[in-house]
Amino acid sequence: MADFDESFDLVIIGSGAASVTAALTAKERGATSVIIEKQDVFGGSTSYSGGVAWVPNTVLAKGDDSEEDARTYLNAVIERAGDPGKASPVAKREMFIKEGPEAIQFLLDHGVKMIRVFWSDYYSDLPGGNKYGRALMAELFNLNELGEWKNRLGSFYGFPPMPINSWEFINLTLAKRTWKGKWSAIKLAARFMKDKLTGSRTVGSGIALQGRMLQAALKANIPIRMETEMVGLVVEDGRVTGVRVKDAQGERTIGARRGVLLNTGGFSHNLEMRKKYQPAPASVDWTMVNPGDTGEGIRIAQDLGAAVDVMNEAWWTPGSLLPDGKYAGFHVPGEAGKPHIIIVDKAGRRIGNEVGSYMEFGQKMYARGAVPAYAILESRALSKYTWGPIRPGTTIQSMIDIGYIKRANTLEDLACQMGIDPEGLKAEVTKFNGFAAKGVDEDYERGASFHNRSYGDPTNKPNACLGPIEKPPFYAVEIWPLDVGTSGGVVTDEYARVVKEDGSPIPGLYAAGNATAPVGGRSYPGAGASIGGAITWGHVAAKHATGWNA
């Protein structure tokens, strides 16, 4: 037996959404655990995210969902996306459908306040699709409640800590068009004023979710080791029994009597792995996840014989970058699906449904060889709607001056500036304008589904998502396959156990989150599918490690 410096029943590597869920579950079942985080801030890529968790048939749906609808929809979405490989066996899907609602109830019971928000399933018109949606979020959270930990949560600079949840941004894009949009802007201003008067630090989205998770962990006295990096696993007689870690004091070993849970994220910031597994061109400059997402958890598991799958995928979120490489905005579907906007390739042809699933649109960009692609915006789009750093109706000369956006009085001139085929763009715009007049996108069905229309402009007729591109000036912005994490990793079974190529589990090794090949395979059924899966598999892993077997 190895001589460990300290031991716990469950050792959890990483601090994303699965980690606190697993630690609380283990404690509830009489087991000890520790969370190991290599960075100096807590929360992993979950704290960088919109903080949405897609989990069907929870208590928060209040009867507006069912297990059968969830099963029907999940199967339909996965099959639509093609072969899910080893990522999504039926047994694993069934476990997600059954255990996801329990995991959410468990978190609610432990004080993690969550709400259901209006965020329609991404394929809402498929059988079993839910038009209101299955998206959950944490309630807004005052960081001051964390005491000495209040400044130790990670956050993405593109989503600065503000008193707003990501689902509310959908309404804000229509602040100049609808009363709902105006009311959202008023509420945000009121929250800012309240914080200023009270000294509160109210946040939403991923920071709120991980803030509430961290608060629950601290209340439960879960040990958390920050700035501690896993450098290897301890294996005895074929079983993972501990981890080797390194911190400022040097290396040591931590025993894991019941198992190790890898919640280490994907490999978004590992250029070598991206070039090996992902479609070309691959880059680490287009990812918007936490800098600790470097793939070592996956590689260490591979050294033990772990199978991997879906490694060529990411949670693609097509968007734009400022000339200095900084994030400017995710545009599909919230902004690119508004009237008077299309996204085309170098031939001037549209790539897909601009108000569809962002993951699918990214897949189409690579399949078409459209990296980058180009957003074409008519003058009315910028006068009515938000576009990344540009507020509707404001002057954009500074954005033109720095080269972020191009402007021209003719489509031919705009095409030449961007390196797009002029005749191809003119033909595509003519065709699209015909679709806009009829209110029917005959190529990609933009605006046909409830989900699409929920992102559109309800004041625009006859289709909330279609508006012609005909009134100059015209504008263009480069669109890149930005991502919020790679979405492939080690293969896990229905108990979150890491498995080998032959399907046999590696004893003592579990995984959750972006370190794994996801239950949705190559699909993304709705906002928060990655976080919803992480929460579920963290719960399942801790239950199984502590003796549960469904």
Give me the residue spans of the domains in the chain: 6-161+201-225+487-545, 318-481
Q: Give the pLDDT band (50/70/90) at residue 373.
A: very high
- Asked if pLDDT for residue 243 goes beyond 90, the answer is yes
Report the pLDDT value the prediction gives residue 51, as an integer from 0 to 100. Answer: 95
**pLDDT: which is higher, 184 or 309:** 309
H-state helical runs in 220-353: 271-277, 296-303
Report the pLDDT value the prediction gives residue 76, as an integer from 0 to 100. Answer: 98
Q: Give the pLDDT band (50/70/90) at residue 388.
A: very high
- Asked if pLDDT for residue 200 goes beyond 90, the answer is yes
User: What value does the mean pLDDT of the chain take?
Assistant: 96
**What torsion do the CA atoms of 224, 50, 292, 294 make, to the nearest 10 degrees?**
130
For residue 487, which amino acid is it? S
β-pair partners for 500: 306
Q: Is-contact 463 490, C-beta < 8 A? A: no
- Asked if pLDDT for residue 1 goes beyond 80, the answer is no
pLDDT in tens, 116-132: 999 999 999 999 999 99
Residue 223 main-chain phi, psi, to 5 deg: -65, 135
CA 437 to CA 459: how far, in whole Å? 15
179-201 mean pLDDT: 92
pLDDT in tens, 232-242: 999 999 999 99
Report the pLDDT value the prediction gives residue 296, as an integer from 0 to 100. Answer: 97
- Asked if pLDDT for residue 549 goes beyond 90, the answer is no
Q: Give the pLDDT band (50/70/90) at residue 161.
A: confident
374-395 mean pLDDT: 94
- Asked if pLDDT for residue 167 goes beyond 90, the answer is no
- Asked if pLDDT for residue 170 goes beyond 90, the answer is no
220-241 mean pLDDT: 98
Q: What proportion of the chain, given as a percentage, has pLDDT over 70? A: 100
CA 515 to CA 302: how far, in whole Å? 11
Report the pLDDT value the prediction gives residue 293, as an integer from 0 to 100. Answer: 98
Report the pLDDT value the prediction gives residue 86, as an integer from 0 to 100. Answer: 96
Sequence-separated (6 or more) residues with CB below 8 Å from residue 518: 87, 88, 310, 487, 488, 529, 530, 533
Sequence-separated (6 or more) residues with CB below 8 Å from residue 430: none
CATH code: domain 318-481 is 3.90.700.10
Report the pLDDT value the prediction gives residue 172, as an integer from 0 to 100. Answer: 81
Q: Give the pLDDT band (50/70/90) at residue 404.
A: very high
Helix, strand and coil content of the chain, in percent to the nearest 5, comes to 35, 20, 45
Q: What fold characterizes domain 6-161+201-225+487-545?
A: FAD/NAD(P)-binding domain (3.50.50)
421-441 mean pLDDT: 98
Which residue, 25, 483, 63, is CA-closest to 259? 25
Run of H or E including 36:
strand 33-36
CA 395 to CA 405: how far, in whole Å? 12
